[in-house]
Amino acid sequence: MARPFRFGMQCYSATSAADWKAKARKAEDLGFSSFMLADHYIGPGPALTATRHPVQDIAAVPAMAFAAAATERIRIGCRVMCVDYRNPGVLVKEMATIDLLSEGRLELGLGAGWLQGEYEAMGIAFDPPGRRIDRLADVIALAKAFGVPGELAIDGPNGVKAVGWEGLPKYVQQPHPPIMIGGGSPKVLRLAGREADIVSFNFNNRAGVIGPDGIATSTADETAKKVQWVREGAGARFGEVELEIGAYFTFVTDDAAGVASGFGAMFGLTAEQVVEHPHALIGTVDAIADELARRREAYGISYVTVGESVADDFAPVVARLAGT
């Protein structure tokens, strides 16, 4: 039986406390299941320009806490926290605190990090992918152990240490908040299949920047491979894992062919490839709803996140499909 649809709204910016509060409440009022950020820090300048990544002008952790205080029902999260940007014990305690103060509405997103220029601009060592993914696995173990009574005893070779102290506060959600693991490579998606409650499909960001390579590694055929990597990691528990994807290129429009052609020209794809690209949703409300149903059948993806800038246009899709 297919999982019911859920929808997230992701937001990168706020001009004031009132603006951020309004955006979080808007997501809740429109029926979105979750209100998400990303985890990025550097502002405008040559370092950010080289990555081709948009500016995120607010920090994830305080913004998540503020959004939780401003809302009542919607889940609060981040797609996803980079485990290299904070001491692991600090990160997990911050997340446990948000779970407590939101009364159990945290979705705990974790990722291995990928934006090389941001690491370099902030003076953080950018280890090879395998080491970063191994460290992510250790942080996941810490996050799960944090809610268990008794002293922590984690001290591995990848820089994750929590020894001789008990994790507090304990999670409201037991045994822990839903853990979302995001990524696009075989190793991280097999890890996600093994450990996550929610797998967030992203580009394979092996280039360390946003560009055609990442988009080409997330076509329909490539996404089918990614689902298989999750299945290999999950084994018998695959049916328990929720599959999520960011629809980064969402356009509610009567001119799907024109939009898809123009977008495809930017990234070396045909219009047909763009329309069926799992990170794109282009067309009328009816067409998008039908395409989401088709993708759920093809890939098992039932959780879809769109940007705040298209939330109003996308709201009729949410109203039609959420919970079905």
- Of the candidates 206, 199, 207, 241, the residue with the CA atom closest to the CA atom of residue 223: 199
pLDDT, tens digit (0-9, with 9 covering 90-100), for 54-104: 999 999 999 999 999 999 999 999 999 999 999 999 999 999 999 999 999
HEC secondary structure over 85-141:
CCCHHHHHHHHHHHHHHCCCCEEEEEECCCCHHHHHHHCCCCCCHHHHHHHHHHHHH
Cβ–Cβ contacts within 10 Å for residue 129, how many?
19
Could you identify the residue written with the tokens 């001491």?
87
Domain ranges in the chain are 6-321
Residue 207: C-alpha distances to residues 185, 216, 255 (Å): 12, 12, 32
In this structure, whether the domain defined by 6-321 belongs to CATH 3.20.20.30 is answered with: yes
Handedness of CA 220, 222, 224, 227 (dihedral sign): negative
User: Length of the chain in residues, anyone?
Assistant: 324
**22 Cβ partners below 8 Å, 6+ apart?**
none
Q: Grade residue 224 by pLDDT with cuts at 50, 70 and 90.
A: very high
User: pLDDT for 12-29, tens place per residue?
Assistant: 999 999 999 999 999 999
pLDDT above 90 coverage of the chain, percent: 85
Distance CA 172, CA 126 (A): 34
Helices (H) and strands (E) in the chain, counts: 13, 13
% of the chain exceeding 70 in pLDDT: 97
Regarding pTM above 0.75, the answer is yes
> Average pLDDT of the chain?
94
Q: Are 30 and 71 in contact (CB under 8 A)?
A: no
Structure token digits, residue 233? 């990691």
Summarize the confidence of residues 220-249 as an average pLDDT: 96
CA quadruple 141, 144, 147, 148: dihedral, nearest 10: -70
